[in-house]
Structures are given as C-alpha cells and as structure tokens.
Amino acid sequence: MEKTIKKLLKQVIRSHIEIDTDIGQLIDNSLEIPPTFEFGERSTNIAFKLAKILKKSPMKIAEDLSREINESLSEKSLVVKTSSVKGYINFFINFIPFFNQLYSQIKKEGDRYGENLSGSGKKIVVEHTSINPVKALHIGNLRNAILGDCIARLYERNGWEVEVQNLIDDFGRQVATLIWGILNGHHLEVVREIDEKYDVWLGKVYSHCNTLLTEDDKWDEVDKVMIKMRQDPLMYRFMRNICQACVDSNLETAWRFGVTYNYLVWESDISRSGIWKETLRLLEKNPSFSWENEGPNAGCFVANLGELNEFKDKKNPDKVFIRSNGIPTYVAHDVALQLWKFGLAKAKLTSRSVVKQKNEAEEMRDLWTSTDFHVSGEMDRKFGKSDRVCNVIGMEQNYEQEIVRYSLKLLSLNDEFENSFHMSYKHVSAPHARFSGRTGNWLQERAWADAVFDDTFAVAFNAITKKRPDLEENPVKRDKIVNSITTAAIRYWLVKFSTETEIKFRIEDATSLEGDTGPFLMYSCVRASKILAKLPKIKTYSKRGTFEMTHHEKDLILHLYRCPVIIRNAADSFQPLIIAKYAYDLASSFNRFYETSRVINAESAKLKQFRVALVQVFSITIQNLLHILGIPIIDEM
C-alpha cells in the first residue's frame, strides 16, 4: 500500500518541482495513519513540506495534488480515491484487491509471516538473566529473563543468528558473602523446608549472612574469602560446586517459563581463561587507562573517561577498573567480556555441552557452559564473535553499561561501540519496597518466580475448573491448559509495561486472566482455530467477485498488514512492549470482527469464503506473535 501511495505522489509532485529536491525522502517522512476511517487508510502532510518550495499555501497544494492523483486512477488501482482536508491528502484504498494480495502473502509465508532478512549473515549476542548464583529468581529477575528472551526471539524473526548468554558472576562479593557464611556454619541456622528448592533456601542463607555481617561489621573477612576463591584451588572448587547447584536450580525455573539459553558464561572462567589478563594488557597500552600513583585512586587502575565529552560533566568521571587490593571491579570484567563477545579476545573459553532444553513450543536448544576442565570431543563449538551485543540489565546499571560501551570508544573500536546496546528496564518492586536479595523481602512477599507461577496456576486452575467441569475426567489435558494459561499470564504481564515503568508487584495483577492479558491473546487464537475446525470443507479462497466489507473487517485487515513493520521496529528499538501492544490490538480487532460479522452463517457464499480467509490469516499472524512473546499455543481453553 505504501509503495503505491509513494509512487502516485512522486508522479504528481515531479510535475511541480523543478529544483533538485529529494522527493522520496520528503514523502517517506510525510505518511501517517489517520485517526479514523473517515480520513482514509493513509494520509500525508507533504503539502506542508512543499509549501516553502512551491511558495503556495498547503491547502492549495493538497487540493491540486489530490485532483491530479484522482485523474490518474483507474478501476484496477489499489487506491480508490484521495481527498484534501486542511492541507492533508487522504488516501482511500480498494480493500478487495488489497486483501487479496495480503492473503496470498500471509498464506505463502505461514509461520514466517512478519519475518525479514535485515540481519541475514549477522550475529547478535543477547545476554540476560545473569543473577548472582546465591538465590532464586524473584519476579524482578524474571522480568529481565523474559524481556531478554523476547529480544532474542525478535532478532531471530529479523534474520539474525542469535546467541543467548547467561553470565554467572561466581567471583563477586555476593558469592563470597555466602561462602563466608557456609564456612562459618551459619547455613545450619537456616531451616530448609520440605520440598523447598535449593536456590530458595540458599537465598535465605545469603540474606541471613548479610544480616550477621552488617551487625558485626565483618566485611573484611568477606574480602579475604573473595581473594582466596581466586587463589586457593580447593576454595575455588568448593565455591564453584555450590554455585553450580544454585544455577541448576535457577535453570529449572527459567525453563518453566519457556526461557532457554545457548551459553552459560562463568565469571571465574573469564578470569582464569586469560581473557581478563589479555584485556588488561590491551588497556595498559592505551593512554586513556592508567595506574594511579596518588590521590583517592592511588594504587588503582583507572579508565580516564573524563577525556570524553559525554563524561566531562560528571563529578567523578574516571572509573576504577582494579582496586588497590588487586581485585578487578565488575565493570572491568564486563569490558573484558564485551571484547570477547565481539571476538576481539584471542584467549578462549573452554566449553562443554550440558543438556537439551525446550521452550513452550517444544523447540529444542542445546545448552553449553564455559568450564574449567576439558571434555573430549566438545571443543568445536564457537561462541561470541558477534556483530552486535545486547546486554539486558536493570536501569540501576545504566552508568556502568555506559562505561563498558565508552571504553570501546577509548580503544578506537568504533564499530563495536556503535553495536553495543544496553536494554535497561526498571525493576519490579513490592508494594512498599524494592525486592532485595540482601534483605530477602522477596520471601515474605512470595515473589520468587516459582511461587508466582504456583500462585498464578492456582488462580487459573480455579477459573478453568469452573468454566470447564468436563475436564475433571481428563486431568492431564486440564493441567496442560492451566499451565499454558499461567505461562501466558505472567510472561505477558512482565512484557506489556514500558521498560521505563517500575512495576508494583501485586499477585492479583499478575494472575489476572481478563482484559489486556496473555490469556486473552490465547483465547482469541483458540477462538479462530475453533472457527476453522468447524469448516473443513470450505474451498480455497477465490479472489474473484465483489462484496461490501464492514468497518471492523477493514480494521482487522489493516492490523494484519502492519505485522512485518511492527516486528522490525520492535527489534530495532529493543522493545518487546511494541509486540505485546500490537498483539493485543490485533486480538481486540479480531474479536470486534467476530462479534459483528457472521462467519459460518454469512449472508452469501462469497462473503463466507472471504471471512473464513480473514480468520485463517488472523490465526497465522496471532500464532506468530504469540511465539515471539513466548505464549503457548493451545487448541482449547
């Protein structure tokens, strides 16, 4: 549609402009979607852009161009007519040939409808989840995982090779705090309930240790443990085994929500592999990084970011990469990891295959992990070496992520600088406070991810039991439906808000099954499938004949048409919210169509055939969107 409109505009504008002007760019930036059908399917404000060039009023230009376009139209034109209103040109399309083209495209592309090849031949690394291996995923961590998972799915739809990484920070102070507590027997003071997951219990131990350390001010002992984890092989192995068990428990939670990974990257492996040492040598050769001999950073290795315009207004623009005690900071290791992700580090991570995972659509993905020991025959898989990197990390890390990105600029790695992205988001908080691993308030609020899933499952179970008493005789099918509804409710709830919004966690919101929710999208998809299941003998849609379309039918067609652009824009802007909003608008449009247009008992055979075809392409499109959102597709609810 846009191509036809642009072509018509170019033809008539060229006869008015004699000077060298980029007409195409003027037109591209002028097209809009009108607020109502009264003003057509598309409009343009091009007359306002041409007013200075032609030295005429926008209204006069719009009237002239509209008249000339109308004179060039024929019965076979996709555009039926145009009108000029207060300087705007409105375009009205012929919906029958428009739908015929759209129907052919969607049926041909099927589950690929909405895809494009903009990223063909390119690779992106998406890092998400990346919580410290001392506790369970709470609802805020889950928001990170699901946002990252949707970004990965979006980029796959845009033709990119996608590698999903999960950074395991086992060398940080949080882990040292936990290990200190276990070495001193404080874990014995924390009761592990029957059937309590290991990562939940470990989170309780970690919170307890933080309380003890704060009360007695023994943080210097934690620093000693932190150094010993790096230097003592036995201490390192003790720490790694505890963290591995926590990560295994975390993975069980992620898989429950359809979140899968390609690669687990351990902080200790980065340090021990030589990647950090190689990065340090690279930084030491660059005058923008230096060892400080005096001042507050004496004895530290520092990034001199103050020489960049973007950091000149900062009170303390320089960033410590290595503390005076010789321990690298988080951001230092993040820079090393970023260089490795782009394939700029010669040192390699040893890797091994762990397990096969499957998401909500039963799609399989191999999970690999960096490791500190060699497994024969599993060294061939290559990770990193990407063209683009997206780190999904909370908004409180905005400054640190900017340091990582601008460190690349200091190193004159401009392409990597331009292709480093931080998808930031505000966290999920309790009604009265932000969730904190240190305080363990996520336990009191039942806000860890598995608890949220279980509580949502209970609400969905009660709703389905009342609605479908017949399923009591088939508990396997009932539980599958309820499980899918639970996944849909939580995933959609965590994606539908702007990343600039801090979500207040209330279980009644997360478990809502009506309105702007994941289950509503599922229900719309099931409704379409049931319509099609009742019409197995309907012939292939014929593009011949004419009929009148309703307002709601036209609205649904226009929504379906937007899918490819929406998917591309959502990936380019790293905003899964765009997909969630579009999917909800599309499902709402379909339900308005369903409530006002009889399909099975349509007034004529041609109308019935058209409406069935419309349901078919809606079904294909909504399923593609559900897959991006990670919402299960089921046959009944």
3-class secondary structure for 585-623? HHHHHHHHHHHHCCCCCCCCHHHHHHHHHHHHHHHHHHH
Q: Which residue did the predictor score with more confidence, 246 or 380?
A: 246
Per-residue pLDDT at 515 exceeds 90: no
Least-confidence region, from 41-55, 191-205, 389-403, 558-572: 41-55
pLDDT at res. 538: 58
Q: Which residue did the predictor score with more confidence, 14 or 555?
A: 555
d(CA 631, CA 637): 14
> What's the whole-number mean pLDDT along residues 21-49?
80
Q: Kindly indicate whether the domain formed by 449-629 is annotated with CATH number 1.10.730.10.
A: yes
- The domain spans of the chain are 2-93, 128-444, 449-629
> What's the whole-number mean pLDDT along residues 75-95?
87
pTM for the model stands at 0.91
Q: Which residue did the predictor score with more confidence, 446 or 571?
A: 571
Least-confidence region, from 374-378, 388-392, 584-588: 374-378
Q: What mean pLDDT, rounded, does the chain reach?
A: 90
Q: Which residue did the predictor score with more confidence, 70 or 125?
A: 125
Q: Compute CA distances 520 → 312, 316, 425, 493, 514, whole Å.
A: 50, 50, 25, 12, 6
Least-confidence region, from 248-257, 395-404, 487-496, 506-515: 506-515
- Give pLDDT tens digits for 593-616: 999 999 888 888 889 889 999 999
CATH number of 128-444: 3.40.50.620
Contact predicate 620/113, CB 8 Å: yes
Phi, psi of 303 (to 5 degrees): -90, 120
- Indicate the DSSP class of residue 448: B
> What's the whole-number mean pLDDT along residues 459-469?
91
- Give the burial class of 285: count Cβ atoms within 10 A of its Cβ; 0-12 exposed, 13-18 middle, 19 or more buried: exposed
pLDDT at res. 308: 87
Q: Kindly indicate whether the domain formed by 2-93 is annotated with CATH number 3.10.310.30.
A: no
d(CA 503, CA 486): 19
Per-residue pLDDT at 254 exceeds 90: yes
Q: CA 167, 168, 170 angle in degrees (round to 5)? A: 145
